[in-house]
Structure 1
Amino acid sequence: MNKTWWKESVVYQIYPRSFMDSNGDGIGDLPGIMSKLDYLQQLGVQVIWLCPVYQSPNDDNGYDISNYQQIMDEFGTMDDWEQLLEGLHQRGMKLIMDLVVNHSSDEHAWFAESRQSKDNPYRDYYIWRPGKDGREPNDWASFFSGSAWKKDAATDEYYLHLFSSKQPDLNWENETVRDEIYRMMTWWLDKGIDGFRMDVINLISKDPALPDAYTHDPGIGTMPPNEEQTYHFGGQHFVNGPRVHEYLQEMNEKVLSRYDIMTVGETVNVTPEDGALYTGEDRNELNMVFHFELMGVDSGPGGKWDIRPWRLSEIKEIISKWQTMLHNKGWNSNYLNNHDQPRMVSRFGNDSVYRKPSAKMLATLLHTLPGTPYIYQGEEIGMTNIRLSAIEDYRDIETLNMYHEYKDAGKNLDQIMESIYVKSRDNARTPMQWDDSAQAGFTKGMPWLTVNPNYTEINVEEALADPDSIFYYYQRLIELRRAEPIIVYGDYTVLQPDDEQLFAYMRSYEGQKLLVVLNFTDQAQVFLLDEEVAYNQPELWISNYGGDHGRALAQEANMHNLRSLPLEPYEARVYRWQE
C-alpha cells in the first residue's frame, strides 16, 4: 500500500449551522468556525470536512445548492471562507469541501432555465419525462418519502428527484453537465482546498430507460415488501448505475489527479466488493468511501425507522469483511456517527451511567482500525441524542416527511416518536455545546434547533478542565495514530468473532503487535489471552480507565504469563509487544 497523508490523518466533520454562531442570529457561521480553530488544533485533527456552505434555500440544510460558487448569506461571505481556509492552513490543517452533484436546488439557474420549455438549452441538464397512464413516469420512491417525481406545470412533464422535490437530479448522461461540474470543482481546488467529500456519489448514473422498480411479472424487477405500496425503492436502476465508474474515472482524469488531495464518496447500498472498485488504487476513482452497512445494523425489514436491537457479532462481521476485502486494494473510512446519523454514544454505547467510558471505548475502536477515522463535532465531548417534546420542534425534512406519511397511514404516534428519538438526523444537529452558559455558548440569540438540555454537564469547557475527559482521550488517540505506523498500516485480524460482549482484534506491522480488547457491555467481562501473547509480556499501551485503576492495569499487564484480562463495563485496552 502506498503511504499518503490522507491515510495518516484524522478528519473532523463540521456541520456549520450548528457549530458556532458569531452574530447572534441563532445560526452557526464561518466566523464562528474561525473562532474555534485553536480548539480544533488542540484536539490534534489534521483535516476539517466542512458540510455545505454554498448558496442554498436550505430545504435540506444546504444539500440543495442554488449556486456552487457563492457562500450562503447566513454563513458569511467568500472573504470569510478564504480567511477560514488560510487559518486552517496556517495551523497545519487541511480543508475538504462537500461536493453535492447528484442534484442541485430547484432554485439553481440551470433548473430555472430547464423548466421554461421542452426545447430550452438547459432542459437536458436534468431528467424530465412525460407522465405514463395519468401517473408519474415510473414508480420510484424518494429517499425522503413519496414519489421521486414531481410534475411541473410549465411544461406538463415530470422531473426526477431522488431526495426532496426541491432537489432535482442532474443528468450525468449530458456531457456538458459533467464539464460544468468539473469546471466548478477545479475552481474550488485552485482556491486551495484539499479535497472533496462527495454526497451520494454512487447515484449519479441512472438506467436511461428509467424502468419501474416493481412489476407483477416475477421474472422482472424487485418485489417490494408490501405490494400495496404506491412507490417502491428503485435502487437497482440507479445505485452503482451503469456508467458510474466511467464518470468517476473521467472526473479523476480531468480534475482529481491534477492535485494532491483526498476524496471520500458517500455511497448508498454498497458491498465491500463495490467498495474495492471505488477505492482500488489501480482504478483511479476515489480514495475511500462511506458505506452504510454498519449504519443499518439496527434497522429491521421496514428500513431505517423499523428499529431492532443490534448484535455485536453483526458489527464485527461488517467491519471485518470490509477490512478484509479492501486490504492491500483500497482504503477504509471509519465512522460511527455524522450529520445524518444519531449520536454514537447513544446508539452503540451508554449515554447515561457509562457515558464517558463508553464514548472512549467507541473512540478506541475508530482510531485503532485500519482506515481513516472521522470525528463528528461534539463526539469528542460525548454529546448525546435528544428527545424533543413535539414534532414541531424538529427541523429535519426526512424526519418530518416520515412523521406525516406514517401518521396519514394510521400508525401509532407514540411509536413514530420513539423511532424519531432513536434515528432522527436532528439528534446529531443540535448545537455544539461549548459551555454551561445560556444556549451552551453556541449563540447569544435563539438557536435554529433546540440545544440539548444536558449542556450544563456536557460541554467543551467542562471537558478541557477535566484531565480524564473524553476530549483528552481523543487527543491521546490522535497522537498515537500520528506517531505509530502500526495503527495506520498494520494488518487486522478479528478474534472471537461470535462473542456478543467483547470485540477483540490484532494489528501487526513490521514485527510489532497490538491487541485491542473492547467491552461493549455494562457488565464486567473477562478476556482470555492466547498463551503466545501472554508469554510475550504485552505492555498496556492505552486504556480508557484512568487513575488508580489505570496504574493497577499497567502493573498487572507487565506480569509474566498473564492469561486473563478482567474488564470493567465499557472498558477498552490496547496492548503492544514486539515479536
Structure 2
Amino acid sequence: MNKKWWKESVVYQIYPISFLDTNGDGIGDMRGIIAKLDYLKELGIDVIWICPVYKSPNHDNGYDISDYQDIMKEFGTMDDFDQLLWEAHRRGLKIMMDLVLNHTSDEHPWFIESRASKDNPKRDYYIWRKGKNGGPPNNWESYFSGSVWQYDETTDEYYLHLYSKHQPDLNWENPNVIGSMHEMVEWWLKKGVDGFRFDAIAHIAKAAGLPDGANPNHLPTVRAYDLFSNLENVHTLLNNLYEQVLFHYDIMTVGETSGLGPEQALSYVGDTRNELNMVFQFEHMQLDAASGGSGKWNIRPWNLLELKKVMTAWQVDLHDKGWNANYWCNHDQPRCVSRFGDDKKYRVESAKMLATFMHMLEGTPYIYQGEEIGMTNIAFQSIDDYRDVETLNFYEEQMNKGVPEDKIMEVIWKKSRDNARTPMQWDKSEEAGFSKGRSWIQVNSNYPMINVEDALKDPDSIYYYYKKLIALRKEHEVIVYGKYELLLPEDPEIYMYTRTLGDVRLLVILNFFGGEPELELPQGMNPNPRELLISNYPVKGDEDLTRTLRLRPYESRVYKLQA
C-alpha cells in the first residue's frame, strides 16, 4: 500500500470569476477566496484547486494566458495571491494551480513576436503552416467548432489552435519552449504552490507531419483526436518535466486527459511512470452523448449499467497500480444533480446519493464549488445571456445549419459549460451574496432556495452531508485504500459495491433513480455484524440491513462490515 498525502486528501475546485466578488465589479477575485477559507476549512477539504488566475484577455475565462507569471487585474495582484497562499497554508490547506501548457493567449508576447515575421526568433514557438489547395493545412476540427487553423495575413500562413482562435498551440518540439515552460513551472513551485492541474495536457504532442484525419463523411473538418491526443511523445515530455522539475517537490499533479481508458491512463499515472499522480478521465462524462455528430452536444439518455462498466474498469484496473481522480462536476461539465440526479423533487436526496457514490470510491475526490449545497443547472431563455465561447460557437454553427432555435436551446440548457459557471450562491441577498454589483453572468434564479447561508442553518443539509463524508474518509483508511468490488452488475437501478482492506469491509448501497426497488443481498454476503456509517435517509432499527431491503428514491447507505 503506497501511502501518499494526496491520496488521502479531498480537493475543492474554485472557479475564481464566479466564487466571490469583494470589490463590486461583478467578477470574483482572490480576496473573495481568502474571505471564504474558513468556510472551506470547516467543510474539511485539504486542497484548493484554483482555475487560472494568470494575466489573460479572458476570451476563455483565463485559459488563454498572456503572462504566466502575473495575475489578471480583475482577480487582484501577485501580492493578493501571495497572501492567499500564506492564509491557506496557515490553515493547513494546500493550493493547486491550474496550468495551461498546451497553448497561450494570442496576446502573449511570444505569439505577438511569432506572428510578426517568418524569420522572427519566436516564430517556431507556435505551429505555423502554409495553406493547402486554397484552404487550411489539414482537416482537423477544433474543440470549439470549425477548423483548428486560423489564417494570418501578416505572413500569409495559418497557425494551429485546438481550442479558440485566441488560444494558439505551443510547439513542444521546440527546445526553447520546453525550457521556458520548465522554468515557469519551477518559479511557481519555489513560490510555494502545492501542485498543478495540467489543462489539456494530452495534446502537447501532435502527429508528425500533421496529416489529415480519416474523413469518411467528406466533411470540411474532422475531429482527428488520435492525431493530437495522448500520443507517445506526450509521455516523453511529461517524464522530462517530472525528472527535471516536479521530482524535487512534494506536490500533487493531475492531468486533463480526454479520450483514454484505464489501461492507457496507467501510462500517465502508473506507479513506475514518473509522470503524473492522477488524471481526469472523461468516459463517465460521455455516457449521455451519442457517438458522432456534434460531440457532447449530441445527447442521449445515460444508463446505469454503462456507468457501472466504466467506473468499475477504472477502479479495478488502477488498484495497486495507479490512482484515480474522482469527480461528478467541474467548470466544464453540467451540474451533477441536474445531470445524474433529480434537481426538482429529490434534489437533496439525489445530491447526497451522488456524493456518497463518489466519495466512497478509491481515488481522490473532487468537489466543485456549489456542489456541496446542491446547485443546479441554469436555463437562460436567450443566447445573449450565455458567456461560454464553446456554447456561443455551437449556437452559431447550428443556426447556420438551419436547426430551430428552440431545439438548440434545449441542448444548451443541458450541456453548456455555463451551467457550472453561474455565481456561487452564498445567501438570499441580491446577486446571491456573490457581488455588490452586477454579476458578469446572471445568478441562477433559485438562489433564494439554494444557498450557503440556509445550508449552514440546516443540520440535515447537503453541506453537512459532504462534511460527514469527508470526515469519514479521514477516519476510515478502507475508504482511501480499500479494494473495490462491484455487486449486482446487471441491476438497472441499484449500484452496490464493497471496499475491503484487511478484515474491514464497506458495503455501499445506492439507488440511482426515483423508484423504490427491492434489494436482495448476494448469496454468501453476511451483513452481520455491521455499523451504519452514513445514510441520506433516517434509518430505523427495523429498516436496517437484512437479506432484503426496499430502497427509497435515491437512497444511499454505507455500512461497515466486520469479517
TM-score (ref. length: structure 2): 0.98
2:554 matches 1:570: yes
Alignment of 1:281-320 (within 5 A): 281-301=271-291, 302=293, 303-320=295-312
1:328 paired residue number:
320
2:347 paired residue number:
355
Letter in structure 2 aligned against 1:426: D
Greater Cα offset, 258-267 or 519-528:
519-528
Alignment of 1:168-187 (within 5 A): 168-187=168-187
Q: Deviations over 1:199-241 (max 9, x none)?
A: 010110001300011xxxxxxxx344x33x2111121111112
2:470 matches 1:486: no
2:200 paired residue number:
200
Letter in structure 1 aligned against 2:337: V
SS class of match (1:198): strand
SS class of match (1:243): helix
Letter in structure 1 aligned against 2:140: W
Alignment of 1:225-236 (within 5 A): 226-227=217-218, 229-236=219-226
Q: 8 Å contact 1:531–1:563 — kept in the other structure?
A: no
1:408 paired residue number:
400
CA distance in 2, matches of 1:536, 1:445: 57
1:526 corresponds, among 515, 518, 525, to 518
1:461 paired residue number:
453
CA distance in 2, matches of 1:421, 1:244: 35
Q: Deviations over 1:511-570 (max 9, x none)?
A: 10110000011111221123543452322111011xxx33x0x55437xxx211221100
Q: 8 Å contact 1:206–1:242 — kept in the other structure?
A: no
SS class of match (1:121): coil
Alignment of 1:332-411 (within 5 A): 332-411=324-403
Q: Deviations over 1:217-275 (max 9, x none)?
A: xxxxx344x33x21111211111123111001000001110100000000011111111
2:247 matches 1:257: yes
Q: 8 Å contact 2:532–2:557 — kept in the other structure?
A: yes
CA distance in 2, matches of 1:208, 1:55: 32
SS class of match (2:344): coil
Q: 8 Å contact 1:9–1:372 — kept in the other structure?
A: yes
CA shift in 2, pair 1:362/1:535, >3 Å: closer
2:411 matches 1:427: no
CA shift in 2, pair 1:530/1:497, >3 Å: closer
CA drift at 1:175? 1.0
CA distance in 2, matches of 1:251, 1:535: 49
SS class of match (1:461): helix
2:269 paired residue number:
279
Q: Deviations over 1:25-74 (max 9, x none)?
A: 00000001111111000100000000000000000000000000000000
Letter in structure 2 aligned against 1:174: N
1:557 corresponds, among 518, 539, 544, to 544
Q: Deviations over 1:443-500 (max 9, x none)?
A: 0100000000000000000000000000000000000001111000000001111211
2:88 paired residue number:
88
CA drift at 1:578? 1.2
Q: Deviations over 1:129-168 (max 9, x none)?
A: 0111111111111110111001111110110000000000
CA distance in 1, matches of 2:164, 2:80: 29
1:216 paired residue number:
none
CA distance in 1, matches of 2:309, 2:200: 24
CA distance in 2, matches of 1:161, 1:282: 33
SS class of match (2:533): strand
CA distance in 2, matches of 1:331, 1:530: 29
2:123 paired residue number:
123
CA distance in 2, matches of 1:527, 1:257: 48
Letter in structure 1 aligned against 2:383: I
Q: 8 Å contact 2:527–2:561 — kept in the other structure?
A: no
Letter in structure 2 aligned against 1:277: S
CA distance in 2, matches of 1:274, 1:530: 33
Moved segments of 4+, more than 4 Å: none
Q: Deviations over 1:320-369 (max 9, x none)?
A: 01111111111001001100000000000000010001000000011000
2:430 paired residue number:
438
CA distance in 2, matches of 1:511, 1:95: 35
Count, aligned residues? 561
SS class of match (1:506): strand
CA distance in 2, matches of 1:385, 1:196: 28
CA drift at 1:510? 1.1
CA drift at 1:307? 0.6
SS class of match (2:297): strand
Q: 8 Å contact 1:202–1:240 — kept in the other structure?
A: yes
Q: 8 Å contact 2:385–2:442 — kept in the other structure?
A: yes
User: Please, what is the CA RMSD of the aligned residues?
Assistant: 1.0
* Unmatched tracts of structure 1, length 5 or more: 214-221
CA distance in 2, matches of 1:134, 1:390: 37
CA drift at 1:387? 0.5
Alignment of 1:502-521 (within 5 A): 502-521=494-513
CA distance in 2, matches of 1:2, 1:291: 22
2:231 matches 1:238: no
Q: Deviations over 1:365-403 (max 9, x none)?
A: 110000000000000000000100100000000000000
2:152 paired residue number:
152
CA distance in 1, matches of 2:362, 2:142: 34
Letter in structure 1 aligned against 2:334: P
CA distance in 2, matches of 1:424, 1:499: 31
Letter in structure 2 aligned against 1:564: T
Greater Cα offset, 235-244 or 166-175:
235-244
Identity over aligned pairs, percent: 59
CA distance in 2, matches of 1:501, 1:17: 38
Q: 8 Å contact 2:543–2:549 — kept in the other structure?
A: no
Letter in structure 1 aligned against 2:444: N
SS class of match (1:73): coil
Q: 8 Å contact 1:538–1:557 — kept in the other structure?
A: no
TM-score (ref. length: structure 1): 0.96
Q: 8 Å contact 1:537–1:557 — kept in the other structure?
A: no
CA drift at 1:111? 0.3
CA distance in 2, matches of 1:65, 1:290: 22
CA shift in 2, pair 1:208/1:535, >3 Å: closer
Letter in structure 1 aligned against 2:507: L
Q: 8 Å contact 1:278–1:289 — kept in the other structure?
A: yes
1:76 paired residue number:
76
CA shift in 2, pair 1:250/1:322, >3 Å: same
Q: 8 Å contact 2:215–2:222 — kept in the other structure?
A: no
CA drift at 1:115? 0.6
1:218 paired residue number:
none
1:164 paired residue number:
164
